[in-house]
Amino acid sequence: MRLLITGGAGFIGSNLARLALEAGHQVTVIDDLSTGYEENLAGVDARFVRGSILDPASLADAVSDVDSVVHLAALGSVPRSIKDPVATHAANATGTLSVLEAARAAGVNHVVVASSSSVYGLNPALPKSEREWVRPMSPYAVTKLATEQYPLAYQQSYGMQTLAFRFFNVYGPRQMAGHVYAAVIPVFIDALMRGAALPINGDGSNSRDFTYVGTVCRVLLDACERQLSHPEPVNLAFGTNTTLLELVRKIEDAAGLSADVVHRDPRPGDVKHSQADNTVLRSLFPTVEPTSLEQGLADTVAWFKETQ
């Protein structure tokens, strides 16, 4: 199989590239390195197109002669979207439409995209199923709703085979800590390793369904290998529910260190609780075995130690 990964120099994309190559597939990556890192692809035997998905020439080059596209390129982060909603819309909503149109023009009929659990927003239901109502709380979440709905519309309009996953707090090796919009697990691990206090936004009762990147990549690759399509969004998580205070304890256990914690004001746009109903995922991927949070944190801590 010939696979294109948009945003392939990013955290999830670079892990997926490695997994696909290990499975014997050919990989092309497109990334403008605005949020990805070229070092993530060190030693990776993939064709690299350095460019933006908003640049038609770069995108046409990348999508030529591939069988499937995994669209991961995006501007992440709720706070970033609140600061600059237009840039987030361009990268995530317009970017997704650009990828779909480039695939259609190139005759590529299978596209997998990454949406987000943030689309549920103000919906208080736990666990959250795909047919629950959505109410985004941030510009980022709105763009992710567009990211998933465009490919589903392309199924109906053009007969394209598409699959839209809602990611829930993916973590693991190659998720960087040293920037203002970093995710919570690398921020916590990095602070613990440096002997700094772990910053918690709010009282620490917010909860998340943390999902290990290796599990996510196995599902993404399986979807491409089977050219899988589904007419509705699919939660890609496994129904766990861990508060930030519980997460601190688990990271302490994984690292064998004790942490100090500092509480900050809650962030605007942050969802209070997030937990997936994974019934649909299990029906489509009945053999997937998720990595436990304990094992995933141990692997992530080990990667941080190796790279320091």
pLDDT of amino acid 281: 98
Task: Please report whether residue 80 resides in a domain.
Answer: yes
pLDDT in tens, 15-42: 999 999 999 999 999 999 999 999 999 9
CATH number at residue 101: 3.40.50.720
CB-CB neighbours of 26 under 10 Å: 16
pLDDT of amino acid 259: 87
Judge whether 166 and 234 are in contact, CB under 8 Å.
yes
Task: Please report whether residue 268 resides in a domain.
Answer: no
- Name the token pair of 34: 């605005």
Q: Which residue has the higher pLDDT, 69 or 195?
A: 69
pLDDT confidence bin for 177, thresholds 50/70/90: confident
Task: Please report whether residue 306 resides in a domain.
Answer: no
Task: Please report whether residue 256 resides in a domain.
Answer: no
180-200 as b/e, with b when 16 or more CB fall inside 10 Å?
A: eebbbbbbbbbbbeeeeebeb
Task: Please report whether residue 281 resides in a domain.
Answer: yes
Q: DSSP letter at 290?
A: P
Give me the residue label for tokens 């190559």: 21
Number of domains in the chain: 1
Between CA 292 and CA 150 the distance in angstroms is 32
Helices (H), the chain: 11-22, 56-63, 78-83, 85-89, 95-106, 139-158, 184-194, 213-225, 244-255, 279-284, 293-307
Between CA 209 and CA 154 the distance in angstroms is 29
pLDDT of amino acid 272: 83
Task: Please report whether residue 33 resides in a domain.
Answer: yes
Could you give the percent of the chain with pLDDT greater than 70? 98
Across 89-98, 149-158, 174-183, least confident range = 174-183
pLDDT confidence bin for 98, thresholds 50/70/90: very high
Which one is catalytic: 120, 140, 150, 154? Answer: 140
Task: Please report whether residue 51 resides in a domain.
Answer: yes
Between CA 234 and CA 93 the distance in angstroms is 18
Give catalytic status of residue 120 as yes or no: no
pLDDT of amino acid 307: 85
Judge whether 244 and 204 are in contact, CB under 8 Å.
yes
Task: Please report whether residue 193 resides in a domain.
Answer: no
- Domain that residue 114 falls in: 2-171+210-239+274-290
Rounded mean pLDDT, 93-100: 98
Rounded mean pLDDT, 269-290: 92
The pTM assigned to this predicted structure is 0.94
Between CA 198 and CA 1 the distance in angstroms is 43
pLDDT confidence bin for 178, thresholds 50/70/90: low
Could you give the percent of the chain with pLDDT greater than 90? 84
Phi (first) and psi of residue 64, to 5 degrees: -70, 135
- Name the token pair of 5: 């990964």
Q: Is the pLDDT of residue 179 over 80?
A: no
